[in-house]
Structure 1
Amino acid sequence: MDLCTDTFADLSGRLGFTCADAGGLVEFRSPLGLANWTLPVLEATIVLGAVLTLGYAIIRLRRHGDPTNLVLWLGATAYLFVIEPPLYFPGAFGIADHVDTMFAHNLFGVEFLWGRLPLYIVAIYPTMATIAYEIVRMLGVFGRYGTVIGAICVGFVHHLFYEIFDHLGPQLRWWEWATDNPLNQPMFTSVPMGSVVVFATLWPVSLAFCVRWSVGKPTDEGRRFTAGELGYRTVAVGLLASLGTFLLPLPATVIGLAGDTARGLVYAAELAVIVVIGVLVLARQWVRIRREPADPHRYTDNPVRWYAAGYLLVFAVLWITALPDYLGAVDGVTETGDPIGSLWYAALCFVAATACVLAVFTIPSGRRPASVSDRRGDRHVQGQST
């Protein structure tokens, strides 16, 4: 209870629970006792993705000597534990005078940190990062365009998948934003622009750049890493990605001192640049790669391809079931008092994400498994999944 700020108490009350209900360091709840049926569906979907991507990452390392997926997975998780706890407990980290509680998650089946951190949030960081990184990697963008452009494309793809989720969550009571918090301004319907741009787009750019630069490209060039080297590089990825999340939105942070409108415009401009680069590069690379003959060294990640398709199917169902309340909303709020997101924006992201998934299903692939011993340079990203 000492950790329960007034803001968190207010947000949790809107979600239907109190600080006393939030439990302890770890707590388990029956899926039947959650706020609504969509919560366990979301939790199962995301946790399954984390398990699949972690399993594949271990297989890549053991069978092909490629640690990229594992460093990506663990680096995204390290980033989570650098970024999230101060947002949950600003007082404990000595920043309460500068940062108030920004949001509260609802209570899910598995909870950590006194109801602040659901298991699915731990899982969503590596899951989403792996989906985005692997789609870009399968299309050969890193090999053709380099680390910087590849990382930007990862941010674009991550944005597509994340915003489908981001614009639905408040309506289904997966979380509640503190709309009075200046750090959450300006809002794009029920979603802060900071979430749309920084957490959905820029941090994956930072993470992908760090992973590709520190492990991915050297591995493709034939370098082998010891366990110790992988350990400190994974920690470095988490820390440097956090630093990148501070640096990349800095223009919006500085110009945003002039007001919320100025901050929103800069956020929108940064996002527009990433979208334009992502669309042009991914489309051109898909056309180019389809014209090339099947390459036995072309990288394919079947678990991610199929999971990404399943993710879109699950969210299509969730959105369809939410549509009656969405369409009946008045002034952006449903009859039950829940804020709605942007249907048109989520639909655009859904269409583009579907195109990305179809793209990685429709590229020619090789027939024999390959390892990272391919030394033909950076023309193609090596390896093929089993």
Structure 2
Amino acid sequence: MSESCTSTFADLAARLGFSCEEAGGLVEFRNPAALENWTLPVLEATIVLGSALALIYAILRLRRHGDPTNLVLWFGATAYLFVIEPPLYFPSEFGIDEHVDTMFAHNVFTVDFLWGRLPLYIIAIYPLMATLAFEIVRMLGIFRRHGVLLGAACVGFVHHAFYEIFDQIGPQLRWWEWSVDNPINQPMFDSVPLPSVVVFAALWPMSLALCVQYFVGRDVDAGANFTGPQLVWRTVVVGLLASVGTFVLPLPATVFGMGSDTVRGFLYAAELLAVSVVAVVLMYRQWSALRSGTTEVYGYRNRLVQWYALAYLAVMALLWTTALPDFFGAVHGVTANGDPIGNLWYTIACFVTALATALATFTVPRSKPDNGEAIRHRNHLPNMA
């Protein structure tokens, strides 16, 4: 599909070390040992394995406990991916090339789709990250106590912490390359566009979580059951409405910041700050209340998410550690190899936040002795130990 190799994409691909003229077909397989560097197959394996396990867990939870929330979340995130990403890869084919130029290019991995545009791990990372964030918030009982909207804000906050650890190191390790001249990517936050830091790391998972909990999760919590067709249409609606939410939530920045990168950056940062403040206050209060026994304990546990969240953080810590020599040797934000570096202090803050939220799920009581089992039975929420 060489006719889709725009000059922007061809340039980004060349910087990453491959030619878009020769990039596969609808699907292509490569030797993992022959990729750009060793971090690519490590990242790929971590994300794809985690996503596959999340899908298996979601299927088992539906079959064994009648709870489809995880399955709708997994497929809703995947549906969102296929609504959002293809137009960004092929703007001319979707008739938007006059308004949207190529924003980024992924490097080629072991398994790629769409002529080198879509690595398998990117398909996998949407449902994996969404599952980690959603389930951490769910295990803390925030949806039940504070409702759909505030719970969704907490999901966006947790997702942001996990995602930015990955987002801030990707350009340095050549996992992808941003088109820094594209106005849509402005302003930049070191090597990452601020719109990515806010919209794709926090606001889209907030939108997804809101839709999943509104259309499925709250009814499951109330003891409802769904038929197959009901789940199918709800999943489709979740994917579509989450995409709409991604457009609506950042409107203050996109509308009022239209003429100025500085104003747009300020408004993006203000939105992220607002979500973060709300989430930190709610999550801390809920955690404290659970620890002190002043709020009802529901006993829900997702051991897979608890442990895989820690495994993901361990892998990312390893990747960051091995990248630090080049990071500290960078001059004017660029390594000796010509790769842009992310923001280390912001990444450390995200590491601390992600680790704290994951560990919080281990430290809250499983259930109250007098009513925990009744609550689990009433709401189809078994002990997941």
TM-score, scaled to structure 1: 0.96
Q: In the alignment, what sits opposite 1:378?
A: none
Alignment-derived partner of residue 253 in structure 1:
254
2:245: which partner in 1?
244
Q: Residue 370 and residue 96 in structure 1: after superposition, are their counterparts in 2 closer, same or farther (change >3 A)?
A: farther
* Residues 47-58 of structure 1: pairs in structure 2 closer than 5 A: 47-58=48-59
Trace 1:179-328 onto structure 2 (pairs within 5 A): 179-292=180-293, 297-328=298-329
Cα pair distance change 1:383/1:8, threshold 3 Å:
same
Aligned letter for 2:170? G
* C-alpha distance in 2 between matches for 1:24 and 1:370: 54
Change (3 A) 1:289 1:101: same
Q: CA deviation at 1:370?
A: 8.0
Where does the alignment leave 5 or more consecutive residues of structure 2 unmatched? none
Give how far 1:293 is off.
8.8
Alpha-carbon distance in 2 for matches of 1:339, 1:80: 26
CA-CA distance at 1:255 after TM superposition: 1.0
The one-letter code matched in structure 1 to 2:61 is R
| Alignment partner, residue 355 of structure 2 | 354
Letter in 2 for 1:335: A
Alignment partners' CA distance in 2, 1:353 and 1:296 = 22
Q: Please give the alpha-carbon distance, in whole angstroms, between the structure 2 residues aligned to 1:12 and 1:258.
A: 30
CA positional deviation for 1:371:
8.7
CA distance in structure 1 between the partners assigned to 2:295 and 2:208 by the alignment: 30
Measure, in 2, the Cα distance between the counterparts of 1:51 and 1:259.
42
Residues 171 and 191 of structure 2 are in contact (CA less than 8 Å); yes or no, is this contact kept in structure 1? Answer: yes
Give, in angstroms, the shift of residue 296 of structure 1.
Answer: 7.9
Q: What SS does structure 2 have at the residue aligned with 1:2?
A: helix
Name the counterpart of 1:103: 104
Shift of 1:256: 1.5
User: Are 1:374 and 2:378 matched, yes or no?
Assistant: yes
Hey, what's the Cα distance between the residues in 2 that align with 1:370 and 1:59?
22
Whole-Å Cα distance in 2 between the matches of residues 369 and 309 of structure 1?
28
Give, in whole Å, the separation in 2 of the partners of 1:296 and 1:194. 37
Q: TM-score, normalised by structure 2?
A: 0.96
Distance apart, 1:291 and its partner CA: 1.6
Letter in 1 for 2:350: C
Q: Alpha carbons of 1:149 and 1:70: their partners in 2 closer, same or farther (altered >3 Å)?
A: same
Q: 1:14-51 deviations in whole A, cap 9, x for unaligned?
A: 00111133100000001100000000000000001101
SS of structure 2 residue aligned to 1:237: helix
- Counterpart CA distance in 2 for 1:67 and 1:289 is 26
Question: Gaps spanning 5+ residues in structure 1: where?
Answer: 376-380
Percent identical: 64
SS at match of 1:258: coil
Q: Deviations over 1:231-271 (max 9, x none)?
A: 00000000000000000000100011121111000000000
Count of aligned pairs between the two proteins: 381
Alpha-carbon RMSD? 1.7
Distance 2:384 2:53 in 1: 13
- Structure 2 distance, partners of 1:137, 1:241, is 19
Inter-CA distance 183–296: structure 2 relative to 1 (3 Å threshold): closer
